[in-house]
Amino acid sequence: MADSDDKIHVAMFPWLAFGHMMPWLELAKLFAAKGHKISFISTPRNIDRLPKPPADVSSTLHFVKLPLPQVEGLPPDAEATIDLPANKVQYLKIALDKVQEPFAKVLESLNPDWIFYDFAQYWTGPIAAQLGIKSTYFSICIAAMVAFLGPPSPLIDGDDYRKKPEDFTIPPKWVSFQTTVAYKYYDIMNTFDCVEDDASGVNDLKRWGLCLQSCDFIAVRSSFEIEPEWLQVLETIHEKPVFPVGQLPPVEYELEEKNSDAWSSMKKWLDMQEKSSVVYVAFGSEAKPSQAQLTELALGLELSGLPFFWVLRTRRGITDTDLIELPPGFEERTKGQGVVCTTWAPQLMILAHESIAGFLTHSGWSSVVEALTFQKALILLTFYSDQGINARVLEEKKIGYSIPRNELDGSFTRDSVAESLRLVMVSEEGKMYRDKAKEMSSLFGDRDRQGKYVDNILIYLKSHRPVKKAK
């Protein structure tokens, strides 16, 4: 616990996506556990949906509700990306951009030493500077992804030398070392809309560029043990301090769900499976396979013969009309082999179960961290955004294996799904991935190591906090 003269006040303002808010909340809890005051800013409904923090930080971690205005195109009660199909997220950004004035008033009243902000809130840095508050751009994307984006000016001005999707399939010119980390053509095609203007008038790349330009320093979800070379690239191209905050492994608290009927029935099925035999399949709260992809995935799982536990999200928000369906007869045929869960499922508890051996994942970094914390081998199937870069880093370091796909359209077959699962889960050839998952758990799940990253960043925050004028 910090003594009273040594405490700082940090405000945190993540993007309105649970894939962002959850790791941000982990970092907030780590700061708060050391006695520092944290003001966690989000919308009312999002705050109500976040897990309650443990009792030991309840006096130092405070939630601040910032209501969103209603805007045309945004359904009522939609306050996070999980509530919306992908094409409606642009309206969430419009609503967020309209809270600049109320946000400035909230920030002025809180008067923190530092504000951590996310990629969408490009206007936060300048507002903080006007109020004499230091700012940090905190990226939940790994260092390789932020480095791949490049320096701010081309992002802001739109004059990046990379104009065509294929330009992103090779490492950028500011990377001086040999690497295979770059997008596959199909990944960049699924992500390329972030360079195009949406209804908000400010595309994602410009938002990133403005955030990176206006902050006092950059914090990134990374660690020297995994990405030393990419952290160095970031410091070189941004010419400002870059701090890895560690991998932010989730702390599993005694959750109410452990006693819920839903978890009891899941656990009962998992308990009946052999140790290290089941493949867990889940693609996060937002990635949704196409109907063609879903069909091949399902038939590939069936063909593999492996027991599986599949958490399947068939729609994104209540306004998503593009429903996807399992192949006819699939659930009946695989009744003895696996389970398909289309409702809530506690990922941490499933991954912690001894029957789970591997994780077929979209390569979202939170899922990667959770899997490696529990020593689960990784089979990768990317969909969009930073997932392609994450997958290349994992492949290059022999931490994960990607399902082979058509290089242009990203299609894959049931045979490639079945063969990939068997390779990573049971074959001698894939033993390296199972061994690597065990080896990586000491990096990704090490609480002491994580604590040192937090201590390191707190030293900087304390020594560089602004001098507050007496009121």
Q: What is the pLDDT of residues 375-395, one digit of tens each?
A: 999 999 999 889 999 999 999
- Report the candidate in 439, 323, 417 with the shortest Cα–Cα distance to residue 373: 439
pLDDT at 322 over 60: yes
pLDDT at 398 over 80: yes
Buried b (16+ CB within 10 A) or exposed e, 256-285: ebeeeeebeebbeebeebeebbbbbbbbbb
pLDDT at 196 over 80: no
Residue of 88 and 257 predicted with greater confidence: 88
- Give the mean pLDDT of 361-385: 95
Report pLDDT for 254: 44
Whole-number Å distance between alpha carbons of 455 and 116:
16
- Give the mean pLDDT of 404-419: 97
157 burial type by CB count under 10 A (0-12 exposed, 13-18 middle, 19+ buried): exposed
Whole-number Å distance between alpha carbons of 289 and 286:
10
Tens-place pLDDT, residues 99-130: 999 999 999 999 999 999 999 999 999 999 99
* Strand stretches in 306-403, DSSP E: 308-311, 338-341, 356-361, 377-380, 400-402
Report the percentage of the chain scoring pLDDT > 90: 81
Tens-place pLDDT, residues 197-243: 678 899 999 999 999 999 999 999 999 999 999 999 999 999 999 99
Report pLDDT for 220: 98
Report pLDDT for 1: 43
pLDDT bracket for residue 319 (50, 70, 90): low
Query: Could you tell me the fold of the domain covering 256-444?
Result: Rossmann fold (3.40.50)
Distance of CA 267 to the CA centre of its chain: 26
Write out the residue limits of the CATH 3.40.50.2000 domain(s) in the chain.
4-249+447-463, 256-444
- Give the mean pLDDT of 254-275: 81
Report pLDDT for 2: 43
The pTM assigned to this predicted structure is: 0.93
- Give the mean pLDDT of 162-189: 94
Report pLDDT for 3: 47
User: Phi/psi at 431 (nearest 5 deg)?
Assistant: -60, -30
User: CA 428, 268, 361, 30 torsion: positive or negative?
Assistant: negative
pLDDT bracket for residue 315 (50, 70, 90): low
**4-249+447-463 CATH choice from 1.10.1760.20, 3.30.590.20, 3.40.50.2000, 3.40.1410.10:** 3.40.50.2000
Report pLDDT for 371: 96
pLDDT bracket for residue 471 (50, 70, 90): very low
pLDDT at 155 over 60: yes
pLDDT at 97 over 50: yes
Which secondary-structure segment (H or E) carries 442?
Answer: helix 431-444
pLDDT at 256 over 70: no
* Residue with the two structure tokens 């099925």: 269
Q: What is the DSSP letter of 193?
A: G
Tens-place pLDDT, residues 422-450: 999 999 999 999 999 999 998 998 999 99
In whole numbers, what is the pLDDT of the chain averaged over residues? 92
